[in-house]
Amino acid sequence: MTTASDSASVISARNLRKVYGRQAAIDGLSFDIAPGRIVGLIGPNGSGKTTTLKAILGLTGFEGELAVLGRDPRLERDALMEEVCFIADVAILPGWLRVRDAVDFVAGVHPRFDRSKAERYLALTKLKPDMKVRSMSKGMVVQLHLALVMAIDARLLVLDEPTLGLDILYRKQFYQNLLEDYFDENKTIVITTHQIEEVEHILSDLMFIREGKIVLSASMEDIGERYAEVMVGPQHINPARALQPISERSVFGKSVLLFDGVSREQLAVLGEVRTPSLADLFVATMKGAQQ
Residues within the interface to another protein (CB under 8 A):
54, 57, 59-61, 77-79, 81-82, 85-89, 92-98, 101, 104-106, 108-111, 145
Starting at the edge strand found earlier in the chain, the sheet holding 11-20 runs 23-33, 11-20, 63-68
**Least Cβ distance, residue 75 to another protein (angstroms):** 11
Nearer to another protein, 77 or 226 (CB): 77
Nearer to another protein, 78 or 265 (CB): 78
Nearer to another protein, 49 or 110 (CB): 110
Give alpha helix (H) positions in the chain: 4-7, 49-56, 77-80, 99-109, 115-123, 138-150, 168-177, 196-199, 220-226, 237-242, 264-268, 278-290
**Least Cβ distance, residue 188 to another protein (angstroms):** 16
**Least Cβ distance, residue 157 to another protein (angstroms):** 10
**Least Cβ distance, residue 43 to another protein (angstroms):** 19
Nearer to another protein, 96 or 252 (CB): 96
Alpha carbons 127 and 206: distance in angstroms, whole number: 35
- Kind and range of the H or E run holding 229: strand 227-232
Ramachandran region, residue 261 (left: φ > 0; alpha: ψ -120 to 50; beta: rest)? left
Task: Report, in angstroms and rounded to the nearest whole number, the Rg of the chain calculated over CA atoms.
Answer: 21
For residue 72, give the 3-state DSSP assignment: coil
Nearer to another protein, 49 or 54 (CB): 54
| b (16+ CB within 10 A) / e for 59-80 | ebebeeebbbbbbebeeeeeeb
Nearer to another protein, 24 or 81 (CB): 81
**Least Cβ distance, residue 89 to another protein (angstroms):** 7
Nearer to another protein, 18 or 171 (CB): 18
Residue 116: burial class (beta carbons within 10 Å; 0-12, 13-18, 19+) = exposed
- List the one residue out of 125, 16, 113, 126 whose CA is nearest residue 72: 16
**Least Cβ distance, residue 182 to another protein (angstroms):** 15
Nearer to another protein, 98 or 274 (CB): 98
**Least Cβ distance, residue 225 to another protein (angstroms):** 37
Taking the CB of residue 181, how many other CB atoms lie within 10 A of it? 14
What single DSSP character describes residue 104? Answer: H
**Least Cβ distance, residue 23 to another protein (angstroms):** 13
